[in-house]
């Protein structure tokens, strides 16, 4: 298991827009990292020593479910898409969103430690691209055609398990080739999916 990722799942129309932007980076610049993960708003990473057991996942689901109920529970964050920006060398389609209460809750209830350093900074927004050899992300960002700003409410908290696929063994060479970056040849699995309560004072306007 490479890592676990707690994230917010956007509505399907927003996820589709984010994926289109990611695919444009692959098509124009040959970047692989934009397609490594599904379009999610990252909240927190975890680093289990091995694949989480069914019992651990059931316990976490129960604890998260209890914490997400009641008047004091963190509510589904209202999000608004903004521009793209580089953070710690990583390109994001930024969001204006108050996601910290949910990130803190995930960190408090997660039975697994956070990896140091994380695979990428859990910034409010959609991951567009990681630093790749020979890539100029600033130039790529300047050429992006982002959708117009829009608002949505993220109504679902998810937990993904991400692991690296094991390639077929190759003949030994000297010197050995450098290790492949983590974002190549991945598979991911959704372990948990929990609904979030929408604030009664805020309604989507599109």
- The CATH number of the domain holding residue 131 is 3.90.1140.10
45 in a structural domain = yes
58 in a structural domain = yes
Sequential pLDDT tens for the chain (206 residues)? 589 999 999 999 999 999 999 999 999 999 999 999 999 999 999 999 999 999 999 999 999 999 999 888 999 999 999 999 999 999 999 999 999 999 999 999 999 999 999 999 999 999 999 999 999 999 999 999 999 999 999 999 999 999 987 655 556 666 765 566 878 878 999 999 999 999 875 444 44
- The Cα 173–Cα 158 span in angstroms is 42
Element containing residue 17 per DSSP (H, E): helix 12-29
pLDDT of residue 2: 85
For the entire predicted model, the pTM comes to 0.88
102 in a structural domain = yes
Sheet strands side by side (includes 78-87) = 125-129, 90-97, 78-87, 151-153
State the virtual CA torsion across 97, 103, 106, 112 in degrees, nearest 10: 140
151 in a structural domain = yes
Scored b (16 or more CB within 10 A) or e, 93-111 reads: bbbebebeebbebbeeebe
Contact 5, 45 (CB under 8 A): yes
Give the structural domain span for 43: 3-165+180-195
128 in a structural domain = yes
Tokens found for residue 92: 């994001």
Number of structural domains, the chain?
1
- The Cα 108–Cα 101 span in angstroms is 11
175 in a structural domain = no
pLDDT of residue 72: 87
The region that residue 185 occupies, defined by phi over 0 for left and psi between -120 and 50 for alpha, beta otherwise, is: left
Q: Is 9 exposed, middle or buried (0-12, 13-18, 19+ CB in 10 A)?
A: buried
115 in a structural domain = yes
Tokens found for residue 108: 């408090």
Which of 37, 206, 193, 46 has its CA nearest to residue 125? 37
202 in a structural domain = no
| 177-184: Cβ within 8 A, 24+ apart | 181/33, 181/130, 181/132, 182/2, 182/119, 183/32, 183/33, 183/36, 183/119, 183/130, 184/32, 184/36
């Amino acid at each position: 298991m490479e890592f676990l990722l707690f994230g917010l799942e956007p509505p399907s129309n927003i996820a589709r827009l984010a994926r289109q932007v990611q695919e444009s980076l692959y098509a124009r610049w040959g970047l692989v990292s934009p397609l490594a993960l599904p379009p999610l708003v990252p909240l927190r990473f975890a680093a289990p020593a091995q694949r989480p057991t069914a019992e651990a996942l059931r316990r976490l689901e129960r604890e998260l479910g209890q914490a997400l109920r009641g008047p004091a529970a963190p509510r589904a964050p209202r999000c608004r898409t903004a521009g793209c920006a580089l953070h710690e060398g990583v390109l994001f389609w930024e969001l204006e969103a108050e996601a910290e209460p949910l990130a803190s809750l995930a960190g408090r209830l997660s039975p697994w430690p956070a990896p140091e350093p994380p695979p990428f900074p859990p910034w409010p927004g959609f991951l567009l691209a990681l630093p790749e050899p020979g890539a100029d992300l600033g130039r790529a960002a300047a050429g992006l055609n982002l959708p117009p700003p829009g608002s949505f409410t993220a109504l679902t908290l998810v937990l993904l398990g991400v692991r690296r696929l094991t390639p077929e063994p190759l003949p030994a060479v000297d010197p050995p080739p450098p290790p492949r970056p983590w974002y190549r040849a991945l598979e991911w699995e959704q372990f948990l999916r929990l609904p979030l309560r929408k604030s009664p004072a805020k309604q989507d306007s599109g």
